[in-house]
């Protein structure tokens, strides 16, 4: 990897996360039950022709850049990485040439054409085109879907894994309904996701446990629980 002033060529795997939503909001009944205030479910659009990230250059902007150490290079102060539709911003970034690894040890923001996320830390392996975000909050482009996760793993095979996650289409810190799952696998090429160990809560009360469920994650519909 060649470094130049103000630029860093880095391959960041796509952080694509597209989820489906649950059924439409509950309506008030004749006894005056309070209706769910969540927005109508919206599914993120299919991106038929995603940006060509493989050949796109990545530009780094930072207030300071230090490459004096042979074992690592450091960028600090309003650091930004851009590649095609991907954008990463943070205050400190380290590149380890021996393992071709980019480390983001502190809070960071990641966005692309399908997701926006804030995370406590992140790392990306440039040799095998993988990465992970730790303790993140996310929202989906073109959808009211949002949530949090302990970890998001990015794969070169265009699949993503969320671990220890919550998901809802409701706004605010106390959503009317919330789906929690041990694991969620997103198969972006095929347009569907698989959740394992999922629990559905309504008004913060668990009422349904599903050990395994499959559902569409974009506007291509398929049969399934959701």
Token pair, residue 73, equals 């290079």
Question: What pLDDT score does 42 carry?
Answer: 56
Query: What's the whole-number average pLDDT of the chain?
Result: 75
Give the pLDDT mean for 192-204.
87
Q: What are the start-end ranges of the E strands in the chain? A: 3-4, 7-8, 58-61, 64-66, 73-83, 86-96, 101-104, 108-111, 115-125, 130-140, 146-154, 159-168, 177-187, 192-202, 205-216
Token pair, residue 191, equals 């347009």
Give the pLDDT mean for 97-118.
87
pLDDT per residue as tens digits for the range 169-183: 788 888 888 889 999
pLDDT at 44 over 90: no
Give the pLDDT mean for 116-123.
94
Is 92 in contact with 105 (CB distance < 8 Å)? yes
Question: What pLDDT score does 164 carry?
Answer: 97
Give the pLDDT mean for 69-79.
93
| Residue 106 pLDDT grade (very low, low, confident, very high; cuts 50, 70, 90) | very high
Task: Report CA 154 to chain centroid distance, whole Å.
Answer: 9
| Residue 103 pLDDT grade (very low, low, confident, very high; cuts 50, 70, 90) | very high
pLDDT per residue as tens digits for the range 138-170: 887 777 778 999 999 877 667 788 999 998 878
Q: Which residue has the higher pLDDT, 30 or 50?
A: 50
**Backbone φ/ψ region at 35: left (φ over 0), alpha (ψ -120 to 50), beta:** beta
| Residue 107 pLDDT grade (very low, low, confident, very high; cuts 50, 70, 90) | very high
Give the pLDDT mean for 207-219.
80
**Residue 221 CB coordination number (10 Å):** 12
Is 43 in contact with 23 (CB distance < 8 Å)? no
Question: What pLDDT score does 219 carry?
Answer: 66
Burial classification of residue 111, based on how many CB atoms lie within 10 Å of its CB (0-12 exposed, 13-18 middle, 19 or more buried) = middle
Question: What pLDDT score does 26 carry?
Answer: 32
Least confident of 5-14, 99-108, 160-169, 204-213: 5-14
Question: What pLDDT score does 132 carry?
Answer: 93
pLDDT at 117 over 60: yes
pLDDT at 108 over 90: yes
Residue 204 CB contacts under 8 Å (≥ 6 apart), including other chains: 174, 178
Give the pLDDT mean for 29-54.
56
Question: What pLDDT score does 23 carry?
Answer: 37
């Amino acid at each position: 990897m060649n470094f130049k002033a103000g630029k860093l060529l880095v391959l960041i795997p796509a952080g694509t996360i597209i989820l489906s939503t649950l059924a439409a909001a509950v309506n008030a009944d004749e006894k005056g039950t309070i209706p769910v205030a969540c927005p109508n479910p919206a599914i993120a659009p299919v991106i038929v022709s995603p940006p060509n990230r493989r050949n796109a250059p990545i530009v780094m902007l930072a207030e300071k850049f230090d490459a004096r150490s042979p074992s690592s290079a450091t960028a600090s102060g309003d650091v930004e990485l851009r590649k095609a539709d991907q954008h990463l911003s943070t205050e400190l970034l380290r590149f380890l040439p021996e393992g071709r690894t980019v480390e983001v040890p502190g809070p960071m923001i990641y966005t692309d054409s399908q997701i926006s996320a804030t995370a406590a830390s992140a790392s990306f392996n440039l040799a095998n085109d993988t990465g992970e975000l730790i303790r993140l909050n996310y929202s989906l482009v073109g959808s009211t879907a949002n949530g949090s996760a302990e970890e998001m793993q990015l794969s070169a095979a265009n699949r993503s894994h969320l671990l220890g996650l919550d998901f809802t289409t409701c706004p605010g810190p106390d959503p009317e309904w919330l789906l929690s799952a041990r694991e969620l696998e997103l198969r972006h090429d095929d347009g569907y996701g698989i959740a394992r160990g999922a629990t559905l809560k309504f008004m913060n009360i668990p009422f349904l446990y599903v050990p395994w469920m499959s559902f569409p994650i974009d506007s291509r519909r398929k049969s399934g629980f959701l």
